[in-house]
Amino acid sequence: MRQSRRLPDRADVVVIGAGAAGVFALRELVRSGLTAVGLEARNRIGGRIFTRRTLARYPIELGAEFVHGTENIVHKLVAEYGLTMVPHVGTAYSWWDGKLGPDAELPRPPLDVLHMFGNERIRDLFVRAEWRVWHTDPYCRSGYSAFAADRGEETRQMLGLPVADTLFFAGEAVGVRGQPGKVASVHGAIESGIHCARDVIASLRT
């Protein structure tokens, strides 16, 4: 029988949000020996990482699904946890403007990208069953962060500044300090969560 763990009455750190940044901030904090509690408004963790396993015989990704590049933290985590990455093969499809079609026919990369590969039956099941439009999601309001054309890395740095060494911020919108471009993807969110947790740890130990 599964036993529920009792949450601590007090914590050194409270992490609000259990998306990629929050989960890995929690991991870093707990590994440092601090007591940390995560608060999540949804009934699941993962944020925009959202795997549905009940729509078809195969898992269907309604959120993050690609690992971009070869030199990022996701590759290290795959090795650490003994996971396997599957090469992207076949035609990628997206649901865009009320239609399902191959990405090659899209006029520009879509904001609400829902890729399906190779199997007509799976695509048909997916279109009938569910799609996720992240910018209307009440918890995240967007698929990716974006700023006006005249706002750049300085804006992300400003978003990431702590308040009174008490309130710290992480997430792909914040990015990773000193590493421009580590944004708008899961690896950026993960790294920002880890760096944010290390800032918290350093603040508590000074």
Domain chopping of the chain, boundaries = 13-44+142-204, 51-131
pTM (2 decimals)? 0.75
Identify the three-state secondary structure at position 37.
strand
pLDDT in tens, 17-53: 999 999 999 999 999 999 999 999 999 999 888 888 8
Q: What is the pLDDT of residue 118?
A: 42
Q: Is residue 75 scored above 50 in pLDDT?
A: yes
Q: Which amino acid is at 200?
A: V
What DSSP element (H or E) covers 202?
helix 186-204
- Contact (Cβ atoms closer than 8 angstroms) between residue 182 and residue 188: yes
pLDDT in tens, 103-112: 777 654 433 3
Q: Which amino acid is at 133?
A: V
Residue 11: both structure tokens together: 């914590």
pLDDT at 109: 40
Closest CA to 145 of 188, 187, 94, 183: 183
* Residue 37: predicted pLDDT: 94
pLDDT at position 13 is 96
